[in-house]
Amino acid sequence: MVDSNQIPPRGPGRPPIRSEDETRALIIAAAARAFLETGYVRTGIDTIARDAGVSTRTLYRLFSAKEDLLKEAMEARIGAAFGSLDAARAAETDPRASLEALLSSYAGLALSDEAVRLTCLIAAERQEVPALADSYRQATVRITGAFEAWVREHQQSGFLRAGNVEMTAHLLRGTINEAQRQILLGLREPLTVAEQRDWVKASADMILNGLAAD
């Protein structure tokens, strides 16, 4: 007797059914990889569809234009970056430990090979592709927001001297951005884990020596 509740096995060669959300995620991931490898302008929709394992018809059903893929890919990265920074900031109650966690999380993002290649892409194509520059500005605003939250919290507690919150947040980010700049310009090799840790500690020392309340 056949169990009527049993799901019949899928025929050979039939791919598993994916949800629309899963398909979208595959396409966005394929687009992000392609943009980093070959640049936004030179990446074709057919390449993205092939790498995602879908038809161009399916891709266009879910995304009306290549620019939509760029926005989705950037927004996903911005969201993940902001989430990890905010979590790092809130994970520690000690001000110095909290600052080192925040800087370390940002260093892991900004100094990764993917981030360095993305920065190169933005620098090379931002004038031809305004959406790249817009996405970069959005990322900067949201990431700086995590640093502003740390500064504001510790100014209010009296740990830091009062001052311009936005400017101080940019200075905090700048300690890590300088390492990225040196890597981009070929002035140094990518930092090892140990070098990244030392850079974060030196950055925290410099910041706290200059900003901590007496």
Which CATH number do you get for residue 49?
1.10.10.60
| Same domain as 129, residue 162 | yes
User: What are the tens digits of pLDDT across the range 13-57?
Assistant: 555 577 889 999 999 999 999 999 999 999 999 999 999 999 999
DSSP code string of 143-182: HHHHHHHHHHHHHHTTSB----HHHHHHHHHHHHHHHHHH
pLDDT at 165: 96
| Same domain as 123, residue 177 | yes
User: What are the tens digits of pLDDT across the range 51-84?
Assistant: 999 999 999 999 999 989 988 888 888 888 878 8
| pLDDT surpassing 60 at residue 5 | no
The reply to whether 26 falls in a domain is yes
| pLDDT surpassing 50 at residue 3 | no
| Same domain as 64, residue 25 | yes
The reply to whether 58 falls in a domain is yes
The reply to whether 2 falls in a domain is no
Total domains in the chain come to 2
The reply to whether 4 falls in a domain is no
Domain that holds residue 55: 20-70
The Cα–Cα gap between 56 and 196 comes to 42
